[in-house]
């Protein structure tokens, strides 16, 4: 059978993709053993302006007959809301998370309506041999946090493992709950990324957690707000030993450790969050907000008898800002558009008003820069006046004097009238052909792409933007040899709106071992654009090693040769840069950092790179707009290092 998934409106009509004349239908083949139950993932793209109604059909592959159909009304989450997924053998022990102010803020909407719900706490019930987690890397973007509570990691499928590791590198946060969970993860796919090793078990009493209590307990005027342990009462814990990038979080008495994984992080507790003394701790919400979720400190003020206001201390982020809840960021999705202010916060990362951060975005700064580069390189120029005049002169000469003279010589002047329509048709075909030659092609494909990766990780996020030109109306099909890719039509302009009589075409995204999209319709003498994303295997990783005393080295362990490489970093609020030039596959080169005089994120060597130049009239692809987004518009955080270069290979 075949499973089809699509978004429909209240009249059961397909919903058009934003700013395009296309509807998207996602389908996949499904093998159904007789009298057995199987579960399949369905993939939906929800257009920005749609109230999602999800329709799923099961079709007979040969006859196309509908065997089963279901329709479910979706409930769109606000841009600032994300899932906190709990993987627990005993989820009832963690149900209290749903009611904490860190999850459900006490701040109300400006209109006095419902409260701000930062996270939807989702308790995924483990099955006999599997976990109900997404197996597609790019479908984790609505998850901000994952809490691991003594679940057997063997239940995570290889596809889910790869998706989780990718999610971590691009900003996900994993909380490992206590000694039991840490022990279960020993030898698992997550062990190389854990910030600590588990040593011997310990008993935690009132004196051993005194410093921790002082740091994370909120002063209370009536009731004690610290963890209450009597003299003879203990909590079971474990001694942690940091490894790799791991370190103990300040003022936690070495009971909580954290480590970075790309942009994301893993935090491990030496005690169980479900211990009765912890769950009854009046200040647990403060600990969750500031230590486990690493969000800015809050201040609460009573404004009336029934409502309170909440503000973030030392943060420019508002209570309904998606960047407060999720740290997930993709270069192709979350960069601000030119002239759009990010408020001087979050290093210039932008938050979309509909999808928040991490969502598919055809109007981000990167998408707009790619669209501009494609239009400059693949735009169709009108033939020159000289070409038009020459063609017209030849046509008039053939249809009038030459036509008349030929039939005059053979004594059949009256036949000139019969020949005139034939000459006109032939001339039209010749003009079309000559115009194609004058422009330079009948069909063309131009592509620009961004590849974002994190040091030490062998997979990168590849976003491709293709422009397809045809002189005659044509339909295109395309395929990507990766099962976790996504592809759909890309708007040719951010202000595009179809006319009343424009045809809306249906494109089909077929998912299997490869991803295929067919039915992409491009009108004659026009350009259609396609946007695709996938996690791309680099064949290795880029790694920066060393220190200021011994010197720095950048190793290219991938199969790609990168041109005009520059490395930028911000150290002690000082901008530094190092020029490398060409970095071949498998090559290691020294990086000599120097302070940049202007303190801008810019290396003067880039001035000599033609590819990073502005638009030109020679039809060559220029990456100036994309380079500007990566180098100048996206600020570096303290301690962050960024490598920028370009790669040219049509087969990649």
Per the prediction, the chain carries an average pLDDT of 86
Burial class (CB in 10 A: 0-12, 13-18, 19+), 222: exposed
Question: What tokens appear for 217 in the block?
Answer: 């307990």
Q: Quote the pLDDT of residue 345.
A: 47
Q: Which residues pair with 463 in a beta bridge?
A: 450, 533
Write out the DSSP string of 588-602.
EEEE--EE-TT-SS-
Tell me the CA distances in angstroms from 570 to 343, 634, 637, one per residue in order.
20, 13, 7
Q: What is the pLDDT of residues 253-270, one digit of tens each?
A: 999 999 999 999 999 999
Over the range 37-55, which residues count as b (16 or more CB within 10 Å of their CB) and which as e? eeeeeebebbbbebebbbb
Name which residue leads in pLDDT, 64 or 614. 64
Among 565, 556, 502, 171, which Cα is nearest to 333's?
A: 171
Give, in order, the Cα–Cα distances in Å from 419 to each of 234, 394, 424. 105, 16, 9
- Tokens encoding 522: 């491009």
Q: 3-class SS at 334?
A: helix
Specify the pLDDT at position 232.
77
Flag whether pLDDT at 476 surpasses 60. yes
> Which range scores top for mean pLDDT: 69-73, 223-227, 435-439, 452-456?
452-456
pLDDT, residue 5, reads 92
Measured CA distances, 56 to 65, 194, 601 (Å)? 14, 39, 48
Using the CB atoms, write b or e for 286-315: b if 16+ within 10 Å.
bbbbbbbbebeebeeeeeeeeeeeeebeeb
**Cβ partners under 8 Å of residue 408, min gap 6:** none
* Structure-block tokens of residue 388: 């038009």
**224 has pLDDT over 80:** no
Instruction: Indicate whether 440 pLDDT > 70.
Output: no
pLDDT tens for residues 89-107? 899 999 999 989 899 887 6
- Residue 64, sorted as left (phi over 0), alpha (psi -120 to 50) or beta, turns out to be left
Dig out the tokens for 57 from the structure.
């059909």
């Amino acid at each position: 059978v075949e499973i089809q998934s699509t978004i429909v409106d209240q009249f059961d009509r397909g919903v058009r993709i934003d700013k395009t004349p296309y509807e998207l239908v996602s389908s996949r083949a499904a093998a159904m053993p007789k009298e057995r139950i199987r579960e399949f993932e369905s993939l939906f793209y929800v257009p920005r302006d749609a109230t999602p109604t999800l329709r799923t059909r099961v079709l007979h592959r040969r006859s196309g007959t509908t065997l089963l159909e279901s329709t479910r009304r979706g409930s769109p989450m606000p841009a600032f809301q994300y899932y906190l997924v709990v993987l627990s053998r005993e989820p009832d022990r963690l149900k209290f998370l749903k009611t904490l102010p860190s999850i459900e803020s006490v701040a109300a909407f400006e209109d006095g309506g419902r409260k701000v719900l930062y996270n939807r706490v989702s308790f995924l019930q483990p099955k006999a041999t599997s976990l109900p987690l997404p197996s597609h890397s790019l479908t984790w973007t609505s998850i901000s946090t994952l809490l691991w509570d003594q679940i057997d990691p063997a239940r995570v499928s290889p596809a889910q493992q790869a998706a989780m590791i990718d999610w971590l590198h691009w900003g996900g946060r994993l909380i490992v709950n206590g000694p039991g969970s840490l022990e279960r993860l020993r030898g698992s796919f997550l062990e190389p990324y854990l910030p600590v090793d588990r040593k011997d078990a310990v008993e935690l009493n009132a004196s051993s957690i005194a410093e921790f209590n002082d740091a994370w307990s909120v002063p209370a005027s009536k009731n004690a707000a610290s963890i209450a342990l009597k003299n003879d009462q203990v909590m079971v814990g474990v001694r942690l030993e940091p490894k790799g990038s791991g370190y103990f979080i300040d003022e936690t008495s070495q009971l909580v450790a954290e480590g970075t994984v790309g942009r994301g992080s893993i935090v491990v507790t030496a005690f169980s969050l479900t211990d009765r003394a912890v769950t009854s701790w009046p200040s647990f919400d403060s600990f969750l907000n500031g230590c486990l979720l690493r969000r800015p400190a809050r201040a609460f003020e009573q404004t009336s008898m029934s409502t309170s206001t909440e503000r973030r201390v030392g943060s420019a982020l508002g209570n309904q800002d998606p960047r407060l809840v999720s740290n997930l960021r993709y270069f192709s999705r979350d960069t601000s558009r030119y002239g759009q202010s990010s408020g001087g916060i979050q290093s210039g990362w932008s938050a979309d008003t509909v999808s928040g951060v991490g969502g598919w975005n055809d109007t981000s700064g990167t998408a707009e820069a790619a669209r501009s580069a494609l239009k400059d390189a693949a735009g169709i120029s009108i033939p020159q006046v000289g070409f038009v005049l020459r063609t017209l002169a030849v046509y008039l000469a053939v249809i009038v004097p030459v036509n008349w003279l030929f039939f005059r010589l053979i004594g059949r002047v009256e036949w000139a009238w019969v020949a005139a329509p034939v000459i006109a048709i032939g001339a039209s075909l010749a003009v079309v052909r000559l115009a194609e030659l004058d422009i330079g092609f009948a069909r063309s494909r131009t592509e620009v792409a961004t590849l974002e990766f994190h040091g030490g990780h062998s997979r990168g996020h590849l976003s491709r933007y293709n422009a397809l030109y045809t002189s005659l109306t044509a339909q295109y099909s395309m395929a990507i040899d990766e099962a976790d890719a996504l592809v759909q039509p890309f708007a040719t302009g951010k202000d595009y709106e179809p006319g009343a009589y424009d045809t809306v075409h249906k494109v089909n995204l077929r998912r299997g071992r490869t991803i295929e999209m067919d039915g992409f319709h491009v009108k004659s003498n026009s350009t259609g654009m396609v946007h695709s994303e996938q996690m791309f295997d680099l064949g290795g990783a880029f790694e920066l090693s060393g220190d200021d005393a011994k010197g720095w080295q950048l190793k290219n362990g991938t199969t790609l040769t990168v041109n005009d490489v520059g490395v930028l970093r911000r150290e002690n609020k000082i901008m530094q840069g190092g020029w490398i030039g060409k970095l071949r596959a498998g090559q290691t080169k020294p990086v000599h950092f120097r302070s940049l005089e202007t303190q801008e994120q810019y290396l003067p060597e880039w001035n000599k790179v033609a590819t990073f130049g502005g638009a030109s009239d020679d039809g060559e692809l220029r990456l100036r707009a994309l380079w500007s987004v990566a180098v100048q518009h996206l600020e570096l955080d303290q301690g962050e290092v960024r490598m920028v270069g370009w790669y040219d290979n049509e087969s990649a």
